[in-house]
Amino acid sequence: MPVVMSLGAAALVLSIGSGAIATGVGIGFPRFEAVSVSRSTKAIVPSALAFVTYSIMVLVVALPTGLAHSGITGHALASVVGINQFVIGLSGTLVSAVLACLVGLISMYIARDRVRNYRLG
């Protein structure tokens, strides 16, 4: 049960952080033209470069949680360090939370700065 609670906390933090990360990536790699989604519907979707950049950033932020809660990696770390596997999982959650906050804050700062300085034509 404690491992499930740790993973739940990680999911909550990462889902909140992923929105903050998306703001900077969307501003950093904007797309201004609409793409046809269906016959009469158009939408502005992220560019492929923005999607790849965002995916890599979220993967890097979530990696400590994934590794720490993995049966193989988490167990190996716990046996090498000599502490309970739950502590390893909780540590991975905390590292991911700190990374999500840092990357999210930097991303939001970049977005705010670019939008503030944006001028038409």
Q: Which two tokens stand for residue 45?
A: 């979707």
DSSP 8-state secondary structure symbol assigned to residue 38: S
Cβ neighbours of 20 (radius 10 Å) = 17
Average pLDDT for runs of 10 along the chain of length 121? 84 91 88 81 85 94 92 87 88 93 92 81 64
CA distance linking residue 42 with residue 105, whole number of Å: 31
CA distance linking residue 77 with residue 108, whole number of Å: 34
Residues contacting 44, CB < 8 A, separation 6+? 31, 32, 33, 34, 35
